[in-house]
Structure 1
Amino acid sequence: MAPLKKPKKAKKKRKGKDPLKCGNRGSSPSSVEPGRTVESRAGETDWWNSFWQKNSGADDFEAVDLVELLLESVENMKLKKISDHTGTSIPSDEDEGFKFFFRVSKTTFEYICSLVRQDLVSRPPSGLINIEGRLLSVEKQVAIALRRLASGESQVSVGGAFGVGQSTVSQVTWRFIESMEERAKHHMNWPDSERMNEIKSRLEMTFGLPNCCGAIDATHIIMTLPAVESSDDWCDQESNYSMFLQGIVDHEMRFLDIVTGWPGSMTLSRLLKCSGFSKLCESGKRLNGTIKLTTDKMEIREFIVGDSAYPLLPWLMTPYEGKSLSAPKAVFNSRHKAVRYLAAMAFSQLKGAWRILHKVMWRPDKHKLPSIILVCCLLHNIIIDSGDKLHDDVPLADHHDIGYKEPTCQQVDLHGQTMRDNLSRHLLLQEQV
């Protein structure tokens, strides 16, 4: 998925225990150190009761620990850090409170636990214990990881809310990320022909664009870098160090395809060209479904929509530029903007729900960050697939990439230009009917 991830090497047997590894996946969960017990099924609800009692009345649960705040303050002033404070209070209803803290319903939470259970109970590291000396249950591990991703708070703050240490939060979160990356990948697949026909039908019914397969957009994941790692390659147009996330969404704002791992200093046209999605489209292996004929016999192939930062291609429609547009062009731009808004909203929901992507990432491992981004996108899709709904105040109130100017790409493909003109005439004729 990402160009930065190192190829996996064959694992070597070690005499000591590696605190960051979850052991052999699928192995027996019975290898627990003497004197320690895994939290029982009864403990699976106990963790929530304890957490709710401790945190439901907190006045400022979103605050980070003072030490980390002081360390980050200078960098964040330069990076125009956006506050995570929403000014909302914790719901008094316990079920709603659960969603407030973990973004998902209890039913969806149980489903996520079922996905990662086998990995999280296979030879757990000796460090994953609570203050009573018991190994953390799968449920508590998942809760810790989800809260870390949802709040974007420091590991110290998240650990304090659960009664565990910073190192435990670090281990648990990464174990969860590794497992979800493998076990939940079926929640993001390019649609088969039947599903794609449904997407196209819904988009045409709602917005009038025939053969439209979705919308594309991109956002910056801002981070700090140690002085020894700082590089102009990661310094973007706003002088922030950042990593790109590009995604294509359907009518439900569900991610169909993402690419990440590339520096935020790239142009969107270059990011698109480097993506596997673009290569598949150019080779005719994607967006290659049935061509539609309009009422006046004009051909419309499958396509997605994107803003002016992208090139105009036969399979990627961008808006017309200029102020005094003809009637067909104005109609096209209006419909095009409405579909494009789906992608912008998807990113606002993604960054709003999983605030670790919205806050400035504090010195991340750039080889691990793409995995964190992917898992947040998978969780976004799981929420949609499960029929969960985010609280109204969760999506970002402002644009997901606020502070960044929208560039304009001058690349125009003649076949793309012809198809856009055909679409414009078709939409105008539809309005006149």
Structure 2
Amino acid sequence: MPRETERQKTTDELMELYLFNLLLGLGTESSDSSDSESDTNSDTSSSTSSSGDSEFAHLVGEGVIGMLKELWKERYQEEMREIPKTDINLQLLLTVYKTTWADIFQSYLRVTPSCFDALHETIKEHPVFHNNSNHPQRPVDEQLAIALYRFGHYGNAAAIVKVALWAGIGYGTVRDVTIRVMTALCDERFRRAAMPWPDAAQIEQAKLWVEGHSCSAWRDGWCMVDGTLVPLFQRPHHFGNTFFDRKSNYSMNVQIINMPDLRIIDYGIGYPGSQHDATAWKSCRIPNEHNQLLGSNEFVWADSAYPLKSWCQAPYKEPESLLDNNKTHNFHVSAIRIRSEHCMGYLKGRFSSLRDLRLRIDKQKDLTFACLWIASCIHLHNFALHHSNNTNPETDQFFIEGQQLMLQECREQAEWAQTQMDIGEDDTLDIEERVELIEGRLKREELKERLLEYLAERNVQ
């Protein structure tokens, strides 16, 4: 439940006193009426006492009402104290650090100075940053810096109070600034610019990468999908139990579809952490527009959690007689699918708020805000990847930080898997899902055979 203020507690206590006094007064009047009917010759002192009790109850009620009026007369109970603030830190970051100490600037805002300038030029003309008020907004570059600082930090460092004191602005201004920047980043035009569907040349480059890490028969699987959990710092009050995931945390399920170059081309957000990846995947664009986006022979790499059709394959187990073939097959599949973990690690390594989302989810509006927060980070990931000065993402400091995070998540996943019982196919699957599983297995068998043929021919040569 939301936190109860001291004023609300005092109000509840006064209301209980008022109701108790009211019931006591009604009980006294009822007793007086009963006594007058049973004994018309009652003593005068008794009548005087009853009259005094009624008058006292009336005075108590008036006193309680007066205290409630006084309690709610002012908006704030405590005397306002001015907190000294300064924007020197923010100005120092945007001037000296930006031009002289790029590494310090990048550690604060999680993007390079050149990427920051490009992002500022892209969104500064958005209508959300312009109004006709007599009190103009802060400069767009300052608003962008504050939002990026929040996206790139987690835990206490991302608390509104800490951000406000660091930037020298009000607590409410921090949220207003973040909302404006998120509005610009989630605008349809910016989303299309940051996440365009890859052209033929980019798809061919991705296919060449897959072919180089496997065989020519696998080159049509040029993208991969996987799910990740974005932990929440507290239990949501909006259907909170549904956010409880298998790791005993409250989280949100995020589906990421990326290419080998770590660029995200599609995503799915909005589902709670308890939701299965196969269900969350269906909210993405690719499974709903497969015929328009992918060719007839193209497919998506995924793990066994996805009961998909023939365009999605994963490592699997077979009888002991084919164990060696399984190891060969799974080794090459893992070499391709590892790019999903690399992408998610890069995303969380750069925008650390996704490691522990410090947002209260008390109603539907708060859930929408959290989804837009995640979407903003994904759009920024693509934008920063495109404008990065580093041509090799794997040497980026955020990529390295993300890999350490993903290794920890993999260890936790392995520990969780060891505690689970080995079970067969889920009996709760409907007919359509069972057909998808069978089609996927048939396609997997075909790809496995073609891989083994390719490796055998290469060994002969």
Give TM-score scaled by structure 1 length: 0.69
Q: Which residue is 1:313 aligned to? A: 309
For residue 383 of structure 1, what is the amino acid of its counterpart? Answer: A
Cα offset, 1:127, TM superposition: 7.1
Q: Is the 8 A contact 2:318 2:326 kept in 1?
A: no
CA deviation string 1:287-339 (max 9, x = no partner):
225xxxxxxxxxxx211111122225300011112584444332221111111
Q: Is the 8 A contact 2:282 2:288 kept in 1?
A: yes
Q: For the structure 1 residues 50 and 311, does the alpha-carbon distance in structure 2 shift closer, same or farther, using more than 3 Å as the test?
A: same
SS of residue matched to 1:397: helix
Q: Which residue is 1:154 aligned to? A: 159
SS of residue matched to 1:382: helix
For residue 184 of structure 1, what is the amino acid of its counterpart? Answer: F
Aligned counterpart for 1:215 among listed residues 220, 224, 247: 224
Q: Is the 8 A contact 1:220 1:401 kept in 2?
A: no
CA deviation string 1:330-379 (max 9, x = no partner):
22211111111111111111112111111143314101111111110111
CA deviation string 1:224-254 (max 9, x = no partner):
5667534333222334322111011101111
Superposed, 1:7-406 pairs within 5 Å as 49-51=91-93, 94-119=101-126, 121-123=129-131, 135-152=137-154, 153-182=158-187, 183-185=189-191, 186-208=193-215, 209-224=218-233, 228-281=237-290, 284-289=291-296, 301-311=297-307, 313-321=309-317, 324=320, 325-364=322-361, 365-389=366-390, 390-391=396-397, 393-399=400-406, 401=409, 403-404=412-413, 405=416
Cα offset, 1:121, TM superposition: 3.5
Cα offset, 1:415, TM superposition: 3.1
For residue 101 of structure 1, what is the amino acid of its counterpart? Answer: Y
Q: For the structure 1 residues 239 and 118, does the alpha-carbon distance in structure 2 shift closer, same or farther, using more than 3 Å as the test?
A: same
Cα offset, 1:51, TM superposition: 3.5
For residue 251 of structure 2, what is the amino acid of its counterpart? Answer: S
Q: For the structure 1 residues 371 and 124, does the alpha-carbon distance in structure 2 shift closer, same or farther, using more than 3 Å as the test?
A: farther
SS of residue matched to 2:230: strand
SS of residue matched to 1:261: strand
Cα offset, 1:147, TM superposition: 0.6
Distance in 2 between residues matched to 1:312 and 1:226, nearest whole Å: 32
Aligned length: 335
Q: Which residue is 1:414 aligned to? A: 438
Q: Is the 8 A contact 1:189 1:257 kept in 2?
A: no
Give TM-score scaled by structure 2 length: 0.65
Higher relative CO (Cα under 8 Å, sequence separation at least 6) belongs to 1
Q: Is the 8 A contact 1:308 1:409 kept in 2?
A: no
Q: Which residue is 1:78 aligned to? A: none
Q: For the structure 1 residues 224 and 104, does the alpha-carbon distance in structure 2 shift closer, same or farther, using more than 3 Å as the test?
A: closer
SS of residue matched to 2:196: coil
Q: Is the 8 A contact 1:255 1:381 kept in 2?
A: yes
Q: Is the 8 A contact 1:188 1:256 kept in 2?
A: yes
For residue 168 of structure 2, what is the amino acid of its counterpart? Answer: G
Between 1:367-376 and 1:309-318, the stretch displaced more is 309-318
Distance in 1 between residues matched to 2:219 and 2:249, nearest whole Å: 39
Distance in 1 between residues matched to 2:374 and 2:251, nearest whole Å: 13
SS of residue matched to 1:215: strand
Distance in 1 between residues matched to 2:132 and 2:389, nearest whole Å: 31
Q: Is the 8 A contact 1:351 1:396 kept in 2?
A: no
Q: Is the 8 A contact 2:159 2:358 kept in 1?
A: no
Distance in 2 between residues matched to 1:394 and 1:175, nearest whole Å: 29
Between 1:361-370 and 1:384-393, the stretch displaced more is 384-393
Q: Which residue is 1:32 aligned to? A: none
CA root-mean-square deviation: 3.1
Between 1:102-111 and 1:414-423, the stretch displaced more is 414-423
> Based on CA coordinates, which of the two structures has the bigger radius of gyration?
2
Structure 2: unaligned runs, 5 residues or longer: 1-86, 391-395, 426-433
CA deviation string 1:249-308 (max 9, x = no partner):
101111110010012111111222343422223xx333225xxxxxxxxxxx21111112
